[in-house]
Each structure stands twice: as structure tokens, then as C-alpha cells.
């Protein structure tokens, strides 16, 4: 059984005696705090924090991280407070422990909400001290190693959470030794039978191909020795989940996946990496298009290596990775390499760069958190952001930007800066204009064209892939809706004040203070926003303001006529004036507005049948007029009865296009062998434009009835 003295002996290799003593003191404190507590396996609970500290010792983490590992469940599972820990072990250790601890004071109705809230809390702690996530990963790794005592359903739930979040975070931070073990342990918990079959097949395959591996390894090593290049060739093993994913996603049999031989060559410096690449390409022919240079362009998590695939003897594919010793340490330990080098009292630029990238990533998480509506939305953004496959594109100045596979121009714009994303109107890819929804490929150069006052489009949410872009667009749209609701609320309230022969601008400021208290709002903008969104009635608020202005209740006051003055709409008001889909109002149609709770003003044609039910609530109906300067397109639905014939759809499409309109949707129903009904949805400028199109359709042969659909 592993003891604290065993750990102390290991720590003696890189920590001074006084720091080792502090780690031991934290262990004895945890042992006392957890006295009487046992794990599901029956072991004393303190064996868990000791094992977590041992995992961190493998990474040469500092003494404060090890102390936090010893104490990480004390706040959550015992009566010890954060302040008590701070008094005993110092504030940094207490902050680390608190960052790893779950929210125990709050009861959650849903496990998903609990998971999201706890993760959100941990991100805030990570922003203050990145060591929080390393302690948490070590904690999760030991929990996954000891899942055996739990119920199968609980095993699967914990394994899925590990796979979706913690394994991906380990990959994002470059800690691949932990990532691979978390993935394999999760796979074994979720699919135990599949994992066992693959494990047995791998053991069998390795035995069968041992001689081939030795032969290839020997030839690679010999070619390096012949060129006097220092390098060590080692075989590379695929892990279980990687094999399973390739079998599932690429639909390949196990034998075909295991036919690929993997090797890693570790050398002294970057120059040697490229010389060794030349040697292995001279020994075996390279597969075209399968070379990747992650040394010149590192992955987002700091990973660096040269990757190439070769045609081996008898056509066997050989995958070779070439890297320096520092890159190997970085590939295995990622951000933890920062402490690995610190323990040796030397800084290393690769490790320092990884640490800086990790801080930048956490900063991005905080920005997402500010924009997210709630913790569940935030954790979905994070999951989307943790996919490891990246592409690399360039700014016009030659700076490299890393983006996930499938990222679009809009994702790139937001990765440069939120304001550039919000004001983006067009782009050039390799100097050619391209749509904003274009999926990007590695090596492209992008130039974003912006315009002051431009705003994000709701449709962008249909194709963006990065969490930063998605959360920033939603945040901007929310503020856009808020601003437009305030503008509409001001128009509606001034209209409601007109019969009282006053306006917002004419009311004294002292009126607002008392009225706000009575209406339970904090500011004029909040009041106007609630009016614009239809959550309050303008005439009720107007009456209250007038009552306060006149020092009492003015219900008996005779008001002048004029309350039927129409609100003018231009069709481009944005997010708080909506056009009813039931009747498709067009400029030139007589229209009525209905104030709908949470949506704002919904515009209907005066003859719309849905207005019959709405007329029971006349205070929510408003007379509307179209502005004389409208240049937007509006949808309209037509039903056309016409003789069936070949080429009818093409004939209608050509006619509509010639009339400067667009077809949004077209459908044909055959009524009998001779007649068809065409359902046509068009985008037109207004009623006059529609009349011209209908006239052209009537000129077609054998056209029957043409009906504009009202509902």
C-alpha cells in the first residue's frame, strides 16, 4: 500500500525538505478531517487524496498543488471551512482547494445544471490560478481508476462527463498522458464488452507483428546511425478509444487499423528533426499529402512535432513522428511541463509558451461565460470549443490563427476581436471575395471587411462553429433587441401620451422617480424596454405618469381626441417589430399592430382572420402606417390554379426572376390529370410589385384562379 513516506521519498527528487514537510502536514490534516470516512471500495478515504498527490508528483507539480491535492475534498466532505484552511496552510492553498470543490451549499433539481454550475465555478477559480484544473484532472483520473465499486449507471454517467469535458480539457492543455488514460478508462466504463474485445485483439496483434516492428525500428535506427544523427526510435502504441473511433468512423476492420505501424523518433534539437525527416524519406517513400509540420505551426495546445506517413516494405504504411526531447515532454505533460522545468530550476520557452496559451484559453472561457445566458449554455459552448482538430489560417499581416475544423469566416472574425466579428460585412479569402459562411481550410489568408454600425445577423448562428463566435453573436443580438425595444417603447409611450397633450420630453424628471417606484422599475430605459417587448401597456403607463405629474388620480380628466394617430413603420425596425407569417403583410396593405408579450409589435393585415381573437384586447392593438421610403423585401404566399404541363416550375421561376422578385418556396399539388395547384412564396417590394407579378402570371396559358393567402 502506497504511504505518505513513499510519496515523500519521491518528492525528495525535486522539492526541498521544508516544502516536503508542508505536504506531509497537509496529509496528516486531511487524514484527521476524513477520519472514519471510507470510499465505496472500503478503503480509508485518505487513500484517495494521497493517490491524487502522487499523480501530481509524476508531473513534478509544486508543493502548494500537492497540498491542495491532499486537502481537495476537505471543504466538500467535512466540516472544515475555506477560512480554516487559509489560516492553517495559507490563502493560495485554500483558493486551490475551494476551486476544485463542488457547490455543496446549493441544491440543484437537475444533475446537468449541477454539473454546469460546478464547472462554471471551477473556471472562475482557473482564471485566478491555472493549477486548479491540473489538480482537478488528477482527482478525476484517480476516480476513474477506481470506478469499480460504483453502480453501472453511475459509472456510465461519470465516464461520459469525463469524456465530454475533462479528457478534452486535458487534450486542450496538452496533457496527453492524462487525456489518453481518461479516454480509455471512460471507454471501458461505457462499453466494457467492446473495450475488452479490442484489448484482447490488440494483445494478439502485437504478438503477431512483433518481428515486423523490430525490423522497421532497426532499419530506422540504422539509417540515423549511418548519417551520424542522434535520435532514439521507439514504437508507438494506439490506445483503445483511438482504435474504436477509427473502426466506427472510418468503417475499417480492426486488422486494417493495426496494419499501420507507428514510430516516434526523439532527437536533440529542431535542426536534427528536419535532417531526420530527410533520412526517413530517403529510406521509405513518403505518402503524398500526409506530411504535417507542427514544429513551424504548433497546435493550439502547444504540441510540436513532424508527422509523416511512409510506404514500408510490402506496402505497409508506417507513421513516424519526429520531435525533440522538450517537445516530447510537452506532448506528454502539456501545461504541466511548465512546472516540470521549474522543478529543475530552469525555464524553457516551449513550456512557458504552453502556460501562456493556457492562460489565454481560460481568458476566452471567461469571455464566453460573460456572454452566456446561463450555466447550461456556457458548458455547451465549452464542449463545442474543446474539439481538438484544428486548422491554421493567416491574417493579412501573416499572423497564424488556430480554429477548429469546419470554422467559417465569421468564426475567424470573432477570433481576431469581438468588435471585428460584430461589424463584419464581407471578407476576402486569398484576395477573392467570399461568402461569410465559407468553411475555411488550412493555409488560407483572410481579410475581414467591416463597416461602422454593422450588426450581427441572426442567421449566422446557423453556421458558426466556435463557442466564442456563438456566444458573442447571441450577446450582441440581445443588446440589439434591447436597444430596439427601448426605441419602440419610446414611440408607443409618446403616442399614448398624445391625448394628454404631453410627451416624455415635456414631463418633469421628478415625475419619473415616483412613477418608477410605483411601476417597480429602476430606470426609464427599463420601462421603455418592457413597453417595447409588450410586457406592459403603454396607455396604462401613460395614465400613471400623467396622474403623478398632476399630483393625484386624473381618471376623470377629459382628454383630447387623437389617440388613433398611427405608428409609422418602415419594415426595417429589426427585432421588436415582426411581420405575421399568417397573413404576410406588404407595404401598401392596411395593417394593424398587436403588442405580443416578449415579442414586441406583430404586424397583421387588417383583414387577417387571426385578428378576430385579438380584437377582444383592444388596448394591445395599434393603428399602423407604412413609411413612404421602404426598400426591403417582404414574403408573400400565392396559390395558383393552372393546367399541368412539363417545365411549369421553370416557366414560373423565369417569370418571377424577370420581374425582379425571388422565389423562397414552391410546391405543386396535382388536383387531377389536367389541373395543378402551385403554392408559391415570393419576396417582393410591396403591393404594387406583387400586382405586376400577378399580371404576368395571368398572361401564362390556362391559368385559373390566383389567390393571395391570408392564413
Enumerate the active-site residues: 76-77
Query: Is the CB of residue 335 less than 8 Å from the CB of residue 137?
Result: no
3-state secondary structure of 700: coil
CB atoms near residue 24 (< 10 Å): 18
**Residues whose CB falls within 8 Å of the CB of residue 183, separated by 6 or more in sequence, listed in order:** 163, 167, 239, 240, 241, 242
Q: Which of 121, 2, 109 is nearest to 57 (CA)?
A: 2
Which residue reads 508507438 in cell numbers?
A: 236
Residue 573, C-alpha cell as written in the block: 425596425
Query: Is the CB of residue 126 less than 8 Å from the CB of residue 158?
Result: no
Residue 420, C-alpha cell as written in the block: 471585428
**Residues whose CB falls within 8 Å of the CB of residue 212, separated by 6 or more in sequence, listed in order:** 261, 316
**Residues whose CB falls within 8 Å of the CB of residue 130, separated by 6 or more in sequence, listed in order:** 335, 355, 358, 359, 362
Helices 509-519, 524-532: axis angle to 10 degrees equals 60
Residue 291, C-alpha cell as written in the block: 506530411
Q: 216 pairs with which residues across the strands?
A: none
**Residues whose CB falls within 8 Å of the CB of residue 190, separated by 6 or more in sequence, listed in order:** 156, 159, 160, 163
Write the CA distances from 161 to 116, 144, 189, 624, 644, integer angstroms. 11, 11, 12, 53, 57
* Pairing between β-strand 621-626 and β-strand 567-569 as defined by DSSP bridges: parallel
Task: Measure the CA–CA gap between 220 and 261, rounded to whole angstroms.
Answer: 12
CA quadruple 82, 85, 87, 89: dihedral positive or negative?
negative
Q: Which of 257, 321, 312 is nearest to 285 (CA)?
A: 312
Residue 647, C-alpha cell as written in the block: 417545365
Q: What are phi and psi of 660, to 5 degrees?
A: 60, 40
Q: For 410, how many CA atoms within 13 A lie in the half-sphere containing its CB?
A: 25
Write the CA distances from 277 to 50, 165, 224, 272, 617, integer angstroms. 44, 35, 10, 8, 78
Which helix (H) or strand (E) is 559 found in, with range? none
Task: Measure the CA–CA gap between 466 and 65, rounded to whole angstroms.
Answer: 32
Query: Is the CB of residue 387 less than 8 Å from the CB of residue 167?
Result: no
Query: Is the CB of residue 668 less than 8 Å from the CB of residue 646?
Result: no
Task: Measure the CA–CA gap between 180 and 288, rounded to whole angstroms.
Answer: 29
- Identify the DSSP state of 152: H
Task: Measure the CA–CA gap between 284 and 217, rounded to whole angstroms.
Answer: 13
Which helix (H) or strand (E) is 544 found in, with range? helix 538-549
Write the CA distances from 491 to 497, 505, 521, 542, integer angstroms. 10, 12, 19, 12
Write the CA distances from 676 to 73, 197, 639, 662, 704, integer angstroms. 72, 60, 10, 22, 10
Amino acid at each position: 500500500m502506497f504511504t505518505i513516506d513513499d510519496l515523500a521519498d519521491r518528492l525528495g527528487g525535486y522539492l526541498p525538505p521544508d516544502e516536503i514537510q508542508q505536504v506531509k502536514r497537509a496529509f496528516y490534516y486531511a487524514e484527521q478531517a476524513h477520519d472514519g470516512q471510507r470510499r465505496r471500495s472500503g478503503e480509508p478515504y485518505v487513500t484517495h487524496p494521497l493517490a491524487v498527490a502522487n499523480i501530481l508528483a509524476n508531473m513534478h507539480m509544486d508543493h502548494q498543488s500537492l497540498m491542495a491535492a491532499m486537502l481537495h475534498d476537505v471543504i466538500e466532505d467535512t466540516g472544515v471551512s475555506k477560512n480554516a484552511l487559509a489560516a492553517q496552510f495559507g490563502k493560495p492553498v485554500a483558493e486551490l482547494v475551494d476551486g476544485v470543490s463542488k457547490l455543496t451549499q446549493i441544491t440543484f433539481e437537475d444533475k446537468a445544471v449541477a454539473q454546469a454550475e460546478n464547472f462554471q465555478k471551477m473556471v472562475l477559480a482557473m482564471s485566478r490560478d491555472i493549477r486548479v484544473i491540473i489538480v482537478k484532472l488528477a482527482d478525476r483520473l484517480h476516480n476513474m481508476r477506481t470506478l469499480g465499486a460504483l453502480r453501472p449507471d453511475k459509472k456510465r454517467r461519470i465516464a461520459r462527463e469525463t469524456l465530454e469535458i475533462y479528457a478534452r480539457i486535458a487534450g486542450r492543455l496538452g496533457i496527453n498522458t492524462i487525456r489518453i488514460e481518461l479516454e480509455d478508462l471512460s471507454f471501458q466504463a461505457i462499453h466494457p464488452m467492446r473495450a475488452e474485445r479490442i484489448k484482447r485483439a490488440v494483445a494478439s496483434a502485437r504478438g503477431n507483428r512483433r518481428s515486423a516492428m523490430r525490423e522497421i525500428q532497426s532499419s530506422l535506427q540504422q539509417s540515423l546511425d549511418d548519417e551520424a544523427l542522434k535520435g532514439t526510435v521507439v514504437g508507438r502504441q494506439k490506445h483503445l478509444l483511438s482504435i474504436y473511433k477509427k473502426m466506427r468512423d472510418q468503417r475499417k476492420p480492426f486488422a486494417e487499423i493495426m496494419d499501420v505501424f507507428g514510430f516516434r523518433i526523439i532527437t536533440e534539437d529542431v535542426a536534427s528533426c528536419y535532417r531526420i525527416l530527410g533520412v526517413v524519406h530517403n529510406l521509405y517513400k513518403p505518402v503524398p499529402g500526409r506530411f504535417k509540420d507542427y514544429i513551424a505551426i504548433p497546435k493550439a495546445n502547444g504540441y510540436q512535432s513532424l508527422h509523416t506517413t511512409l510506404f514500408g516494405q510490402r506496402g505497409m504504411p508506417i507513421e513516424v513522428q519526429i520531435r525533440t526531447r522538450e517537445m516530447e515532454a510537452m506532448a506528454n505533460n502539456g501545461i504541466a511541463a511548465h512546472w516540470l522545468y521549474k522543478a529543475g530550476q530552469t525555464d524553457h520557452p516551449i513550456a512557458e509558451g504552453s502556460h501562456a496559451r493556457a492562460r489565454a484559453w481560460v481568458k476566452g472561457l471567461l469571455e464566453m461565460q460573460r456572454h452566456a445566458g446561463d450555466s447550461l449554455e456556457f458548458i455547451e459552448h465549452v464542449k463545442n470549443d474543446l474539439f481538438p482538430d484544428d486548422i491554421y489560417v493567416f491574417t493579412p499581416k501573416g499572423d497564424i490563427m488556430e480554429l477548429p475544423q469546419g470554422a467559417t469566416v465569421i468564426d475567424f472574425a470573432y477570433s481576431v476581436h469581438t468588435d471585428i466579428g460584430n461589424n463584419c460585412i464581407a471578407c476576402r479569402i486569398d484576395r477573392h471575395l467570399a461568402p461569410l459562411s465559407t468553411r475555411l481550410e488550412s493555409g488560407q489568408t483572410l481579410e475581414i471587411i467591416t463597416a461602422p454600425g454593422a450588426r450581427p445577423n441572426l442567421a449566422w448562428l446557423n453556421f458558426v462553429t466556435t463557442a466564442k463566435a456563438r456566444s458573442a453573436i447571441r450577446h450582441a443580438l440581445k443588446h440589439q433587441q434591447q436597444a430596439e425595444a427601448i426605441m419602440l417603447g419610446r414611440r408607443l409611450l409618446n403616442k399614448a401620451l398624445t391625448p394628454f397633450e404631453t410627451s416624455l420630453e415635456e414631463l418633469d424628471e421628478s415625475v419619473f422617480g415616483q412613477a418608477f417606484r410605483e411601476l417597480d422599475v429602476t430606470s426609464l430605459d427599463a420601462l421603455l424596454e418592457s413597453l417595447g417587448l409588450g410586457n406592459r401597456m403603454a396607455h396604462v403607463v401613460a395614465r400613471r405618469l400623467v396622474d403623478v405629474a398632476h399630483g393625484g388620480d386624473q381618471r376623470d380628466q377629459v382628454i383630447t381626441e387623437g389617440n388613433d394617430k398611427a405608428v409609422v413603420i418602415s419594415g426595417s425596425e429589426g427585432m421588436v417589430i415582426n411581420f405575421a407569417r399568417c397573413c404576410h403583410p406588404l407595404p401598401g396593405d392596411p395593417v394593424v399592430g398587436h403588442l405580443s408579450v416578449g415579442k414586441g409589435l406583430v404586424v397583421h393585415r387588417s383583414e387577417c382572420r387571426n385578428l378576430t381573437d385579438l380584437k377582444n384586447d383592444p388596448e394591445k392593438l395599434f393603428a399602423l402606417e407604412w413609411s413612404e421610403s421602404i426598400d426591403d423585401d417582404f414574403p408573400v404566399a400565392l396559390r395558383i390554379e393552372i393546367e399541368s404541363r412539363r417545365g411549369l416550375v421553370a416557366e414560373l421561376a423565369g417569370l418571377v426572376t424577370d420581374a425582379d422578385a425571388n422565389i423562397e418556396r414552391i410546391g405543386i399539388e396535382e388536383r387531377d390529370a389536367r389541373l395543378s395547384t402551385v403554392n408559391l412564396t415570393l419576396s417582393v417590394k410591396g403591393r404594387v410589385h406583387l400586382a405586376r407579378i400577378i399580371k404576368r402570371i395571368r398572361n401564362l396559358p390556362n391559368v385559373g384562379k390566383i389567390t393571395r393567402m391570408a392564413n
